[in-house]
Structure 1
């Protein structure tokens, strides 16, 4: 059991590392310069150079990545270029609401899954079982962003019951 847990933790850490590297590289591959984007097209070359130095954009990418990882391990995720505030503070501001939504979602999912499982078991190899199995398979196969888009279209566009934030 301990070796299983160790393998799972190692796999999770490896996935987290690879994800962070891929996101960092994807951001580096974006066209344009961050300093120019922040200051605007009319910025002087000296102002752009000063901001690039302040944001450490004049250093190699691998140095910036390792600095970010060191900071992240200590809880410092850097400063938002949009708001100028600490990213950790920005994230923690919404963490409680996100946790509440996740908890409610889990409660609905577990309750619904148990009910549908019992129903499928009661009608094994008949149409309710096949319908539940098919809908479950389709539900697991469709990406979340597609489901989210359909829900926004249904509940914010077609029937404006909720705001599309």
Structure 2
């Protein structure tokens, strides 16, 4: 492991990472035993989160001065909007969920608290504080997908496999 700040943060929080990687929801999703109603609930919450993430990225860009950093964040935002949201629109169709219904569903209290934290941090903090606030999502999804890649191969549920494979391509 290197000596960068991310390596230091990662190694100093192994207990948290272990709980994330071994959470029952994650295990069940990757091995295919997660009840579909739980996955549907998650997808609805995550879609709301992705909309908030896009807003946060726009706020961050509006505060940046360095054109190269602006471009990097804009490219990340564009990838999220075009890839993630496009994949979610397809996923909603596969789950027989309609976008117009999804956007009317009130986010859960936990999701609302997290989205408010992100929006507040990005709005009131520096652009770099905003970037640090949104980093865990990308990092965690990538780590989860890599950690459970073998389990995913044997997953009998097509929609779960297809959803998770997106994160293996990061």
Q: Which structure ranks higher in relative contact order (CA pairs < 8 Å, sequence separation ≥ 6)?
A: 2
TM-score range (shorter-chain normalised) is under 0.3
| TM value normalised by structure 2 | 0.26
Name which one, 1 or 2, has greater alpha-carbon Rg. 1
